Structure 1
Amino acid sequence: MSRSLSLRLVSLVILSCYLVPYALIGQIGAWYGSFLFWCLAGVAVIVLNIIATAGFTEDAE
């Protein structure tokens, strides 16, 4: 996966973090639906950031 694609996917996850809790699961009274979404979104951002920064290396001099 390319770096630009993974950064775009991070942007999409961040956008969904604003839209999903208020638009899709805002009417659900139970807290665990929102908690599950936030846990999955957090894991997705961590994985996508690892993919985006995998090519960064420090030049040894």
Structure 2
Amino acid sequence: MKSAELKWALLILAIVLLGYILPYTLLTNVTAWYGSFLLWTGLAIAIIGINYLISRKWGE
């Protein structure tokens, strides 16, 4: 695995871990369903953006 690929993989891993850790720590007292939903939506958009950046040069 190249250095750039490893960097992207670690970033994706960190975002996935945030998706599990934040709702049970910082968002514990948020009783509304949209608190964690907004977090997961933002994290999903970040992952989609990273996947786009990784795969945009595959066809070249």
State the TM-score bracket (shorter-chain normalisation).
Answer: 0.7 to 0.9
Aligned partner of residue 26 in structure 1, secondary structure: coil
TM-score w.r.t. length of structure 1: 0.78
Calculate the TM-score normalised by the size of structure 2: 0.79
CA RMSD of aligned residues (A): 1.5
Q: Per residue, is there more helix in 1 or in 2?
A: 2
Aligned length: 57
**Corresponding residue for residue 20 of structure 1:** 22
List structure 1 segments (4+ residues) > 6 angstroms apart after TM superposition.
none
RCO (CA 8 Å, sep 6+): is it higher in 1 or 2? 1
- The gaps in structure 1 that reach 5 residues or longer are none
2:9 paired residue number: 7
Q: What are structure 2's unaligned runs of at least 5 residues?
A: none
